[in-house]
Structure 1
Amino acid sequence: MNEKYRPQFHFTPARNWMNDPNGLLYYKGKYHLFFQHNPQANVWGNMSWGHAVSTDLYSWQELPVAINCTPTSGIFSGSAVVDYNNTSGLGTTENPPIVAIYTEHQNDESNQSQCLAYSVDEGLTFTKYEGNPVLDINLPNFRDPKVSWIDGQWIMTLALPQEFKISFYASPNLKEWTHLSDFGPAAEVGGIWECPDLFQLGDKWVLIVSLNPGGFQIGSGTQYFVGQWNSKEFIADDVQTRWIDYGRDNYAGVTFSNAPDNKRIFLGWMSNWDYAVKVPTDPWRSAMTIPRELSLQANTLVQIPIEKPGGFPEVSFTTSGGAIRIHETPERFAEIGVRNGKIYADTSNAWNEIAAPLVQEVPAPASEVDFRVIVDRGSIEVFAAGSTVCFTNLVLVDTSLHYVETIGEVNNLKLQQLYREQQG
C-alpha cells in the first residue's frame, strides 16, 4: 500500500493491467468484482477476467484469474448473474450456478461472440460452457453483454460498437437468445459504443452507454439515456446528451446484480483510453472508482458514494463563487469550486507531462452549490449540486493531497481525515 500512487481505498489489482469492471454481482454476503485483466504484463493484452471479493466494497481480496484467455482468443467484457432458478441447467436449485456471460474475441479480429462460463462453488472456479458460443452473428465488433432478469426472462443488452447501437436479446435459459430490438444511434456518436447497462430506477428505465473516443472533453466517456422499457425495446424520453461524469477518468462503468436492498450500485474504471497506458504506476496499472448508489431526480442521475467503514478522507463545503485548493505542497494542488456560474475542477497543478484536459466546467444548476470531494492517493472524486454533477479525475502527486486553502467565499467547510502520508 506504500507504492507511489497506489490508492488506499479504491480497488487496484496487486500486479499488472486492469480495465473494465465485469460481472459485478452480490451473492451470499460477498460482492464479486471481475475485471478485464492482463495476468502477464502492465499493459493491455492477454485479456482475461481477474477476480476479487469484498464484504463492504472497500476491503478487497484478490482471487486467482477467473476466466483465462486462450492462445487464439481473449475474454472481453461481460456480466455475471446468479441463476437462482437454474434455468440454464448448469447447477441445481439448491446450489444455483453463477453464470458469466462474456465476449470471446478472436485475436485475428475476425469475430466477437457471446459465451458462457459457470461456477458451482460460489465463484471460486469457472468452467467454460461446452455449447459456446451462445450468440454469434458473425461480426468482428459485437460485445459487452450485460444480462439481467427482467419480466420473467433473461434480457441481454450489448453493443454494436461501430453502428452506435445497443441490441437487446431475450432468453429463457441463458443459452438460446432471440433478438428483440435495437436502440441508436443517438446523442453522442463521436466514438464506438461499448459497455451498456439497462436497469430500472423508480418508474423510469436507464440505459448506460460508454463511448470512446468522444467523451465530454477527450477520449473515453459514459453517457446515459432515460426512458421506458416495454419488455421488448427501450424508448428514450429524449436523446439529449447526459454524462455520468464530467471528469476524465470514469469509463465502462456498470452496475451490480442482486445488490442488497435493491440498491443500484455503479462502479467504473478510473482511467481514460487516451493515456491509460502512460499513467506511471508499477507493478499495477489502473483503479476502479469508488462505488456509487444511483437514483434519479428529474431525469438526472444522482450518485451517492457508498460509505466506507470509518469514513473517507474528504472535504465538503458550499459556495456561490469561491473554491478550495487541496494541497500536497504549496505548488501542488487540485482546485474545485464555482466561477462565472460554472462548477469546475482544475487539476493543472496536480498532474504531470501526460497530455490531458486539466480543467472541466459545467453550468451550475443553482446559485449556491454544495460540494463533497473525496480524496485518495492518486485521485479526486467530486460530487456537487446534490451529487447530480460528478468529476472523477486522476491526480499525480508524490504523496497525498492533505491540506486545504479557500479562495473567495466558502461556507460550511468541513474536513475529514485528510492526512499527510509517508511515501514508501
Structure 2
Amino acid sequence: MKKIISTLILASTFCSVLNAQSESKTSEEQLYRPNYHFTPQKGWMNDPNGLFYLNGTYHLFFQYTPFQSVPDFGKMHWGHAISKDLIKWEELAPAIAYDEKGAIFSGSAVVDKDNTSGLGDGKNVPVVAIFTYHDMKKEKAGEIDTQSQAIAYSLDNGKTWTKYSNNPVLKNPGIKDFRDPKVFWDAKRKQWVMGLAVQDRQHFYASKNLKDWTFLSEFGKDFGGHGGVWECPDLFPIKVEGTNEEKWVLIVNINPGGPNGGSAAQYFVGDFDGKTFKMDDVFTKQLEKEKVVWLDWGRDNYASVSFDNVPDNKRVIIGWMSNWDYSPDVPTEKWRGSSTIPREVVLKRSKDGYILKNIPVSQLKNYEGKTIRKEISLVSDKKLISKGEIDLSKAIIDVDLKKMTKGVYIFTLKNSLGEQVIFGIDNNRQELFIDRTKSGKTDFKDNFANRVSKAPLSKSYQNATFKIVLDKTSIEIFFNNGEKVMTEIFFPNENFSELSLSTDTKGSTLNINAHQINIK
C-alpha cells in the first residue's frame, strides 16, 4: 500500500511539474509572442535574408537555428516565411540548410526575369539566392579564408531550392570577414552588382550571369562608423522626394558602434556609375558634421535590407528587431528574435542634408480596428488611453502635438504592476528618448536597460507628430513622418494597458488617433 501511495505521490508531483512547465510556456506565449511582427514558432532568428516579391507573394528568409533558441553559427540555415501583404506571415519549412561546405550565412535573392543565369527551365522564372558559406572547419583550424559566396536557385516561386553545383561562385581572396552579399540588377549597365561586407568597408562586384564575378571598387575606409564589420549592406537607387532627381543610398550595419550601444544601421547618400559609389557633396558635408548618419536611433533595428522586385518600384526594408548586446539572453525559451514592421523608405532633401525617412508600409492600415480619437489641451498630467479602451499590446497611435514650447513631453506606457516604458521629446535638450529601465524583466543582461536611448534633433519644435507602433514587446516610434526613428524591445510581466502624457509646459494641444490592430 505504501508503494502505491508513494507511486501516486510521485505521479502527482510529475504531473504538477508538467503542468507548471506547460503554464510557463503558455505564459511566455501570452506575454511575449508578438501579435503582428514576424517571429519563428521555435528556434533562433536573426538577420533577414533573400527578400523578394514574385507573383503576389513576399518572401522573407532569415538566419535561423531551428533546433535551439540560441545561435549555432556552425549550423545556420535560411528560415522562410511568406506573406501577401507584408503584415500577416506564414512560416514555412527552412529553405536552405547547412552542408559539408559550411553554414548558410546572410545574403540576398533576386528575380532573374531574363534568365541571365541560365538556371531557368524555359517555363519558370528563376529566383537566385546569393549567400555566404561559412566554413567552421577552417575557422577551427585557424584559417582566415572561412567565408565565400555561393548561389542556389528556385524554379517554383521560392518553395524549393537547388544549390549550384559549382559553388562557390566567388572565392575568398584571403580575407577574414568576407560576407553578406546583397545583389541587384543595374538596368543602366545591364549587369548584376554585388555589395559585399569586407571587414569595415564595402566591396562591389559585377556579373552578367550571377556566376562569374569581377571586382569593381571599394568604399568606406574613411567614412562613417567603424565599430565593427560593415555587415548586411544594401545599395539601391531612389528618387529624391518631390523631384525626378535620382540618388543612390547605401545602408550598412555595424556591430558594435551603434548610437546607443551595440548594433545599428547607418547609411550614405551618393551616386553610383556602375563601378564606384561616391558620396554626394551635400552628404559629405552632412557627414562631417554628424560623423555617422543613422537609419534608426533605437537599440533594436539591425541588418535592415530591402526587398527585390517590389511593385510600383517602392523600396521596402525590414530589419531584425534585437541587438547583439543581449539578443541570446532575452527571456524567451521557445524562440528568440523577431522582425521590425516592414517600412517604406523615402529620400528627403533638407537644408541640413539628406534624410532617409522610413515609415510603416501602408498595408498595416488594412488591419486597423477599434479606434479612439481625442483632442486634449495639455496641463500637467493627462491620461491619453485608459485600461480597456484599446488593447495596447497591438496598436498604432498617431499623435499630433501643436503649440509646443520649451520643456519636456513625456509619454508613459504603464501596467498594473507599476512597470513602464517612457518615451517622448525633450524640447530643451532637443532630443527624442526611450527609457525602458523599469519596463519589466531587465536583469537577464546588465546592458539591456542600463541607459536611456536618445536621438538628437536639429531644433526645438512647435509642432511635431509621432506614429507609435506597439506590439506586446516592442515600440517603434516614427517622428515627423519617419524623419527620426527609434525601435526598442521590452519584456513586461504584464501587458501594458495605459498611456499617459506629462509635461512641464502649458498651452500645448494634442490630437490622438489610436487604432487597435486586429490580426489572427
Q: Same fold (TM over 0.5)?
A: yes
1:245-260, aligned counterparts within 5 Å? 245-260=296-311
**C-alpha displacement of 1:58:** 1.5
Aligned AA for 2:184? S
Q: Which residue of 1 aligns with 2:509?
A: 411
Q: Does 1:361 align with 2:454?
A: yes
2:51 aligned counterpart, secondary structure:
strand
| 1:305 maps to 2:392 | no
- In the alignment, the residues of structure 2 paired with residue 242 and residue 140 of structure 1 have an alpha-carbon distance, to the nearest angstrom, of 27
User: 1:140 is matched with which residue?
Assistant: 176
Q: After TM superposition, give the deviation of residue 263 of structure 1 in Å.
A: 0.7
The residue that corresponds to 1:227 in the other structure is 270
1:197 counterpart residue number: 234
For residues 258 and 3 of structure 1, what CA distance do their matches in structure 2 show? Answer: 36
Three-state SS of the structure 2 residue aligned to 1:241 is coil
For residues 317-332 of structure 1, the aligned pairs below 5 Å read 317-319=399-401, 320=404, 321-329=408-416, 331-332=418-419
Residue correspondence of structure 1 range 111-260 to structure 2 within 5 A:
111-136=146-171, 137-150=173-186, 151=188, 152-161=190-199, 164-185=200-221, 186-202=223-239, 203-237=246-280, 238=284, 239=287, 240-260=291-311
Cα distance change, pair 139–364 in 1 and its aligned pair in 2 (3 A) = closer
- CA drift at 1:296: 0.8
| Structure 2: stretches of 5+ with no match in the other structure | 1-25, 240-245, 369-393
The reply on whether 1:95 has 2:182 as its aligned counterpart is: no
Q: Does 1:345 align with 2:434?
A: yes
* Number of aligned residues: 417
Distance 1:317 1:346, change over 3 A: same
**Is the counterpart of residue 379 in structure 1 residue 479 in structure 2?**
no
- Deviations, residues 34-80 of structure 1 (Å, cap 9, x unaligned): 00000211110111100010001121111111100125610000000
How far 1:365 sits from its partner (Å)?
3.5
In structure 1, how many angstroms separate the alpha carbons of the residues matched to 2:488 and 2:180?
Answer: 25
Distance 1:214 1:158, change over 3 A: same
2:396 aligns with one of 292, 297, 314: 314
After TM superposition, the structure 1 stretch with the greater mean CA deviation from structure 2, 10-19 or 66-75, is 66-75
- Secondary structure at 2:367 match in 1: coil
Asked whether the equivalents of residues 48 and 61 of structure 2 are also in contact (C-alpha less than 8 Å), the reply is yes
Q: How far is the alpha carbon of 1:135 from its aligned partner? A: 0.4
Partner AA of 1:337 in structure 2: G
Map of 2:382 onto structure 1: none
1:47 to 76, 90, 106: 76
Give the TM-score normalised by structure 2.
Answer: 0.77
Contact kept, 8 Å, 2:147 with 2:178, in 1: the verdict is yes
In the alignment, the residues of structure 2 paired with residue 362 and residue 51 of structure 1 have an alpha-carbon distance, to the nearest angstrom, of 33
Structure 2 counterpart of 1:328, one-letter code: N
CA apart distance, 1:118? 0.5
Q: Which digits, 9 at most, give the CA deviation of each residue in 1:360-419, with x for residues without a partner?
A: 222334413211111101100001123111110001112322311111156334252459
Greater CA deviation, 13-22 or 300-309?
300-309
Work out the CA distance in 2 between the residues paired with 1:402 and 1:232. 53
Structure 1 or 2: more strand by fraction: 1
| 1:394 and 2:489 correspond | yes
Instruction: Between 370-379 and 71-80, report the one with greater CA deviation.
Output: 71-80
Q: Which amino acid aligns with 2:412?
A: R
For 2:174 and 2:226, locate their aligned partners in 1 and report how far apart those are by CA, in whole Å.
23
Q: Which amino acid aligns with 2:434?
A: A
Question: In structure 2, what is the Cα distance between the partners aligned to 1:40 and 1:383?
Answer: 35
How far apart are the structure 2 equivalents of 1:127 and 1:191? 33
* Mapping 1:261-300, distance limit 5 Å: 261-298=312-349, 299-300=354-355
1:38 matched to which residue of 2?
65
Higher Cα Rg, which structure:
2
Which stretch shows the higher mean deviation, 213-222 or 285-294? 213-222
How far apart, CA to CA, are the structure 2 residues paired with 1:326 and 1:71? 49
| C-alpha contact (below 8 Å) 1:144/1:158 kept by paired residues | yes
The letter for the 1-side match of 2:233 is P
Contact 2:260 2:454 in 1 (8 A): no
- The one-letter code sitting in structure 2 at the alignment partner of 1:122 is N
Question: How well do the aligned residues superpose, as a CA RMSD in angstroms?
Answer: 1.7
Extract unaligned runs of 5+ from structure 1: 420-424
CA contact (8 A) 1:317 1:411 kept: no
Write the distance in 2 (CA, Å) between the matches of 1:24 and 1:325: 35
- Structure holding more helix per residue: 2
Q: Which moved more, 1:200-209 or 1:395-404?
A: 395-404
Runs of 4+ in 1 over 6 A off after TM superposition: none
The one-character-per-residue Cα deviations of 1:9-42 (angstroms, maximum 9, x if unpaired) are 0000010000000000000000000000002111
